[in-house]
Chain A
Amino acid sequence: MLVIACLKQVPDTTQVQIDPVTNTLVRDGIPFIVNPYDTHALEETLRLKDSHGLKSVALSMGPPNAEATLRKALALGVDRSILLSDRAFGGADTLSTSNVLAAAIRKLGESEEVGLVFCGKQTIDGDTAQVGPGIAVRLGYSQLTLVDRIEKLDLDAKTVTVRRKLEGRYEIVEARLPAMITVVRELNRPRYPTVPMRLASAKAEVESWSNEQLQLDVNSVGLKGSPTWVSRIFSPERQEGEIIGDGLNDPIAAARLLLDRLVQGDMLSV
């Protein structure tokens, strides 16, 4: 039985800056990383490989340089790493992304039964949390989002029981396999690659599938298969506020001045 982790290579958005003059993104020297939530999806895949003897696969749709992410997955111990890359896949929104990932999972399922698919709860660049549910619906899998604990995996009964972390409450949910599970960071602590594994991964093969393997309608993938499009990108205009007092030389007076203004303006009452 297969357990699959879906990974996305993302720019480290915490390091992106805006050029104050041109109002454009400064991307020079911004490194690509594995989406942090996905590292927990990968870790869970590896744990189920260790504990239940499942065969683990890492999947990623992206440009050719996303191979680096899949090589890291090999260094951590996945059995197969597959890059889904094709010119036709570029510019995809979440609907066409889930189409490609679901097609790859379906293809893997032709030769071996798929038990679980793990995704991060969202990416740090898009923040949409939509690709996981998209995969589940397309494949007809059970959908379990925001999981912070796997309570029980029963391969004979083909069920999985998880704990979902929601606003102000947890839910213990039992569902039928195959299941698509999106994970939060509390689920586990990702491992580090060992030196021998890392050395071995440098030579291991990252498989590459294009649309020749997946045979999807080109109008259902990439930009063409995306109902949403970006009409405008902008830095928001904001109204400059008022600087109160001389905080550098007389912080106490500045603080008092501020409190006076707040009280006079009816914004603060004590």
Chain B
Amino acid sequence: MSEPVKVKRPRGKARVIAGKCIACGARCQSVCPINGVEMSEQGEPVIETAKCIGCVKCVKACPAGALEMFYTPEELAIIASFEKHGGEEIDEEELERRSRVAAYKGVWVFVEQNDGEAAKVSWELTGVGRELADTLGVPLSAVIIGSGVDHLADTAFSYCADQAYMINDSVFRQYRTEPFLAAMCHLIEKHKPQVVLMGATGMGRDLAGAVATRVKTGLTADCTGLGIDAKGNLMQTRPAFGGNIMATIMCDRFRPQMATVRPHVMPMPQQRQGATGITIPESCPIPESSIFTRVLEVITDKGGKDKVDVAGAEFIVSGGRGLMAKENFALLEELAEELGGVVGGSRSAVDAGWLPQDRQVGQTGKTVRPKIYIACGISGAIQHLVGMQDSDVIVAINRDREAPIFEVATFGIVGDLFEVVPALTAGVREMKQLRS
């Protein structure tokens, strides 16, 4: 009798798929257990095939799908014979991790407020949080931390929240990182939410970055899309590489899954007056003497007559590189004035010094959703599109028929903006005269 020959499943070797690498920062090299990946000057991997043990770690780590396994024809034949046998191997560590993750339940929205007045982005978040909570079959909670903020619970209920965790204490009268960080971490540790959403505002970003570090979990900034995958994990989509491409980010092994969303990115939900919910009073006693940060003064920046609120405007006429010079923005000002709107611009226009920074629309500027957005001489880099793609109507005016801006436009005019824009201004003016 001979011993049965045990055939091992072939592991294959990793290789790079030409042209797909995005130089993400050497994730493949970082995970390779045998130091078999070198990085080129361009930041792309060079795999030492002789060293490769076929562990597939680099393939899994690659965000761009730029690595694959390959097998010899003989190996492929052996694999085919293995096909029927499958099944996931789960070790104890993995089991423990899964049960730890499963202990976190519920979707939370941090309600940002200033002197008891909530930032609108908080309710945009309860709107999207409602959808996530319904998909998961868990409650949606508002987290309200402040002084004199009791009334915000009812507002939260009217904007879809089931319940509100309330910390009402004078130490939280003004936002400071230390006490808010302590309170937020206290609540997270006590109640274990699976998702925590915050506005990507000055305050939200200050707090979210601190909280995620203290509770040692992942945080995804400036999400433009949030959804739940088949396993119940949060899919967080955001612009990446300076807004040149979109990426979906997962935080499936850690809890809570934390994300920030910029104002105006999510639609404002319908308010249901009189809706009720459960207020859960909480406390996190922090003596004022233990805090070493003091807000000495708050200066409200009402701005002069030049101050323009691009983010809140109903009509925006925006200019890009195609405007050629600062003085040409007068053309856009005229059209904007006729429409009762404001002038915005792309990053190129702001970088060229044609517009102040607070007029910039896009990934590093403002996110807008006006009734009509008129893009003049803007080619439409993704970093610009993510800032305006949710406008009700988008009009693109550009000489270049191939410009990506036409891909998001409701209506496009292929033509010279120096001819089309004045014609639009004259047309609107005429319509108004006919009316009166």
Contact = CB atoms under 8 A, between A and B. Distances in A.
B26 A25 contact: no
Contacts of B385: 236
A137 B43 contact: no
A132 B209 contact: yes
Contacts of A258: 395, 411, 413, 424
Interface string B425-436: 011100110010
B63 A229 contact: yes
Interface stretch (A43-51, A73-81, A189-197, A241-249): A241-249
Interface hub of A129, A142, A169, A247 (most chain B Cβ within 10 A): A247
B19 interface: yes
Contact of B413 (A132, A172, A255): A255
Interface in A236-268: 236, 238-248, 251-252, 254-256, 258-259, 261-263, 267-268
A125 B412 contact: no
Interface string B144-164: 000000000000000000000
B301 interface: yes
A176 interface: yes
A124 B364 CA distance: 8
Contacts of A245: 413
B413 A87 contact: no
A176 B424 contact: no
A247 B30 contact: no
B242 A125 contact: yes
Nearest to A235: B245
B212 interface: yes
Interface residues of A, number: 94
Contact of B26 (A91, A98, A133): A91
Interface in A74-125: 87-95, 98, 124-125
Given A91-B26, A228-B249, A241-B396, A173 B221 contact: no
Interface stretch (B48-56, B71-79, B129-137, B291-299): B291-299
B431 A263 contact: yes
A35 B413 CA distance: 37
B428 A270 contact: yes
A252 B418 CA distance: 11
A133 B218 contact: no
A242 B411 contact: yes
B239 to A, nearest CB: 8
B171 interface: no
B214 A137 contact: yes
Interface in B278-298: 292-298
B361 to A, nearest CB: 15
Nearest to A267: B393
A156 interface: no
A269 to B, nearest CB: 9
Given A18-B382, A137-B181, A171-B297, A248 B427 contact: no
Interface string B24-61: 11111111000100010111000000000000000001
Q: Bin the interface of chain B by size.
A: 35 or more
A27 interface: yes
Given A24-B22, A166-B202, A240-B407, A247 B209 contact: no
A91 B411 contact: no
Contacts of B187: none
Contact of B414 (A17, A165, A243): A243
A17 B379 CA distance: 12
Contact of B294 (A130, A136, A173, A267): A173
Interface in A141-160: 142-146
Contact of A224 (B30, B214, B296): B30
B427 A130 contact: no
A175 B176 CA distance: 10
Contacts of A89: 30
A16 interface: yes
Contacts of A226: 218
Contact of A169 (B41, B301, B407): B301
Contacts of A25: 22, 241, 244-245
A127 interface: yes
26 contacts: A24-B22, A25-B22, A27-B42, A63-B26, A92-B30, A94-B212, A127-B242, A127-B243, A129-B221, A142-B293, A143-B210, A165-B202, A171-B297, A171-B299, A172-B295, A172-B298, A174-B293, A175-B294, A176-B292, A176-B293, A223-B30, A228-B250, A231-B248, A241-B409, A252-B419, A262-B372
Given A136-B177, A164-B202, A241-B407, 16 more contacts: A25-B245, A87-B35, A88-B30, A91-B28, A98-B213, A127-B364, A161-B296, A166-B202, A170-B298, A173-B176, A228-B249, A239-B407, A254-B420, A258-B413, A259-B431, A270-B431
